[in-house]
Amino acid sequence: MFKIRRQNAVVFTDLEDGSGGVLLHLESKFYYSLNPTGSFIWKQLEEKEEMTEENLLEAVLDNFEVDAEEAKKDLEEFIEDLTREGLVIKIQEEVKV
C-alpha cells in the first residue's frame, strides 16, 4: 500500500468561479488545471501530510455522488498523472509484523 504526499514545490489556488483550481510546479514552471473533483482531492492532500488512495477514495465517495468503481478507477488514473508530472510522490508504507 502506498501513501501519497504532495510535492513542496507545488502551489495551488482555487478559481473564483468554482470551476476547479490551478496547480503550479515552481521548479518546472508548468501549471495544471483541475476540475472541482481534482481540486477537492488536492485540498485533501494539503490538509494532511500524506494519505492513502483508500483514504482519498473514501473522501471522494463521501462528498460526491459517484459510482464507487468509477471513482476508484478515476482516482487511480489521477494519482498516476500527478505522480508522472512530479506533483506528488508515492511512499511505500512499511509493513508491520
For every one of its 97 residues, what pLDDT tens digit does the chain have, with 9 covering 90 and above? 789 999 999 999 999 998 999 999 999 999 999 999 999 999 999 999 889 999 999 999 999 999 999 999 999 999 999 999 999 999 987 766 6
CA-CA distance, 46 to 44, in Å (whole number)? Answer: 5
Q: Report pTM.
A: 0.90
CA pair distance 58, 95, nearest whole angstrom:
22
Ramachandran assignment for 22, one of left (phi > 0), alpha (psi -120 to 50 degrees), beta (any other): beta
Q: Is residue 97 part of a domain?
A: no
Q: Based on the structure, what is the number of domains in the chain?
A: 1
At residue 96, the pLDDT reads 66
Residue 23 domain boundaries: 2-92
48 in a domain, yes or no? yes
What is the C-alpha radius of gyration for the chain, rounded to an integer number of angstroms? 13
For residue 16, being part of any structural domain is answered with yes
pLDDT on residue 65: 95
- Indicate whether 82 belongs to any domain: yes
Q: What is the pLDDT of residue 28?
A: 95
For residue 63, the domain's CATH number is 3.40.366.30
